Structure 1
């Protein structure tokens, strides 16, 4: 099934987190599914991410001309990132036993890359030429190890997506207030209404 890569799919705050969130409802075997089951979606995701993550990428477009070929590396980085940082949010610290796998996955994504990164105004290199999606994904994932970023990671209580809380007082609760926040409000309203109806019946 073709995925509609809407702005909501990019509420993680960083490319690596948006990619980690392409597995929907992690932890729920009955309902969980992978949006990258069809490798063609990796290319479509990369195209959308070029727009929605333009600020992070310094305007450099992502390239994924052979999604089936890069799928193993992309999925390896995705799963290692989710495992390491979901655990960090849950425990309040990074588990060192998860680091070798994470670093190896990122290394595989960078293997063969000849781009220069980190220059002022060019965080992902020259914005004129495309960058391989797996390379950009590895760079984005490694940036999560920065203390300030890691301390601001959260797990949405509605959809369980990972996201960066960049609110001033670090109090953001939902990955997307317009979607997950409103769904939770609707559920609470429904429960209160049912309780009121039941109380009225039993009065």
Structure 2
């Protein structure tokens, strides 16, 4: 399926997290959707990330993943998701970190240049590993995306208030009103 990359798709706060979040409903077998399943989406993502990523100041225009590097890029994406998700849950281990470091190294070695999506994603992931406040990384309570909470009081619950936050609040409101009406 082809779709448009909107600002909502870049709410992770880091390119590496936005790449990991390209799998929608990752842990729901019936609802899971990989936004990179269509190869052209990688190019569209690179273009959109150049304009919308929180780290866009670190690169000019990102070049799409070269077809021969796609397997390495997908391995990096999965290693990013596994490591940081486990880190947020307090279950990180050296094996997940080793897998992330190996995937990042492989992507950097294969990348045609610093402006490639695979190199920028690897550098973003390595920067996050050294994040001075790892407790700021969270998992959205609605969609399960990874994001960095940059709010002053560290109270952000959803990846995007305008999307996930509104859905949760609307759902609560619906059920509350339904309870009031039912006998």
Interval of TM-score (by shorter of Structure 1 and Structure 2): over 0.9
Match of 1:6 in 2: 6
Match of 1:87 in 2: 86
Greater CA radius of gyration, 1 or 2? 1
Match of 2:181 in 1: 197
Match of 2:24 in 1: 24
- CA deviations on 1:97-117 (whole Å, 9 max, x unpaired) are 1112111100011105586xx
- CA deviations on 1:148-191 (whole Å, 9 max, x unpaired) are 25221000010000000011111111100000000001000000
Match of 1:140 in 2: 124
Q: How does 1:21-100 map to 2 (within 5 A)?
A: 21-53=21-53, 55-64=55-64, 66=66, 68-91=67-90, 94-100=92-98
- 1:63 and 1:180 map into 2 onto residues whose CA distance is 30
Match of 1:120 in 2: none
Q: How does the TM-score come out when normalised to structure 2?
A: 0.93
Kindly tell me the number of residue pairs found equivalent between the two proteins: 183
- Detail structure 1 runs of 4+ shifted over 3 Å in the superposition: 54-57, 112-115
SS in 2 for 1:62: coil
Structure 1: any 5+ residue segments left out of the alignment? 116-123, 125-130
The answer to whether 1:108 aligns with 2:92 is: no
RMSD (Å), alpha carbons: 1.8
| Segment drifting more, 52-61 vs 139-148 | 52-61
Query: Are the structure 2 counterparts of residues 184 and 54 from structure 1 closer, same or farther at C-alpha, using a change threshold of 3 Å?
Result: closer
- 1:29 and 1:107 map into 2 onto residues whose CA distance is 30
- 2:54 and 2:150 map into 1 onto residues whose CA distance is 17
- 1:65 and 1:194 map into 2 onto residues whose CA distance is 49
Match of 2:171 in 1: 187
SS in 2 for 1:154: strand
SS in 1 for 2:30: coil
